[in-house]
Amino acid sequence: MTIDELLAAYDQQLRTDAETPSAVAVGRLGPLRLVTFAGGRGFVTYQNLAGAGADTIAHWVAEVLEFYRADPEIVRVEWKTRGHDHAPGLHEALLANGFEPDETESVMIGDAGALDVDVPLPPGVCLRRVTDEPDIRAMSAMQDEVFGSHASDGNAEAILRRVARDDGMELWVAEHRGVIVSAGRLEPVPGTEFAGIWGGATRAQWRGRGIYRAVTAARARAAIALGKTLIHSDSTEYSRPILERYGLVRVSTTTPYRWRR
């Protein structure tokens, strides 16, 4: 598939309700989907902005903020932008309403089979899928540490709620002598060709030794077993070169803008 074909598949198959399978509620404002997740998190996404001009977009941003402010349970909101969208004035409107841009990531897409490779692991390191609460909490704590997030039970609780719903998500880790050193999620997208790989994190002292590649290969094999042919991921500059080496391509970029109460 060409980059244009991959991007079209991304827009048509993933920028729908499939993007937010764990939503508690979804509202609408024009083309915008105003999503509420458990734990006080709002999320704004859309397939496109329907050709809207800067004035209309600025009005939508203000309305979105008013919508979430009215719910005292909401403590943070993410507005997910994509670099290939026609969105005049969106950056300025988000800043004017108190949203702050986070790191821009690459939207990567490619053949799942290209990631299904044998990767030798360092001595004492093994891979496994985790499903039990103690393992999930340990995995979440490691990811918080690697991403520089404030360590709390919030992320673990969100993952545990999803595991309880059995929505198809799989959690994979690499361990050394019982300590998790790398981890990532696999999220098959129902009704599409896609599975997403998310949350990839490796402790600094274990990077550059093939462990992230091995966790990614394990997730790709699991996706193929579920009948998925395409892998997608929002990738940092740490993971993007690894995925590119196995044939995934950057079809766009994504920048989250965040608001906190």
- Which residue is listed with tokens 């198809």? 168
Helix ranges (DSSP H) in the chain: 3-9, 54-69, 90-96, 112-115, 133-147, 154-165, 211-225, 240-245
What is the predicted pLDDT for the residue at 258?
98
Q: What value does the mean pLDDT take over residues 138-151?
A: 85
pLDDT per residue as tens digits for the range 86-130:
999 999 999 999 999 999 999 999 999 999 999 999 999 999 999
Q: Is 102 helix (H, G, I), strand (E, B) or coil?
A: coil
* Residues of the chain above pLDDT 70, percent: 98
**β-bridge pairing 32-37 and 41-45:** antiparallel
Q: What tokens were used for 109? A: 């897409």
Q: How far is CA 178 from CA 182, 203, 205, in A?
A: 12, 14, 16
- Distances in Å between the Cα of 137 and the Cα atoms of 32, 71, 78, 153 are 33, 29, 24, 8
Distance in angstroms (rounded) separating the CA atoms of residues 102 and 91: 12
Residue 151 has pLDDT above 80, yes or no: no
pTM of the model: 0.86
Question: Mean pLDDT across the chain, nearest whole number?
Answer: 94
Whole-angstrom distance, CA of residue 98 vs CA of residue 65: 9
Q: How far is residue 119 from each of residues 108, 159, 229, measured CA to CA in Å? A: 21, 27, 20
> Do the Cβ atoms of 170 and 186 come closer than 8 Å?
yes
Q: What is the mean pLDDT of residues 21-40?
A: 93
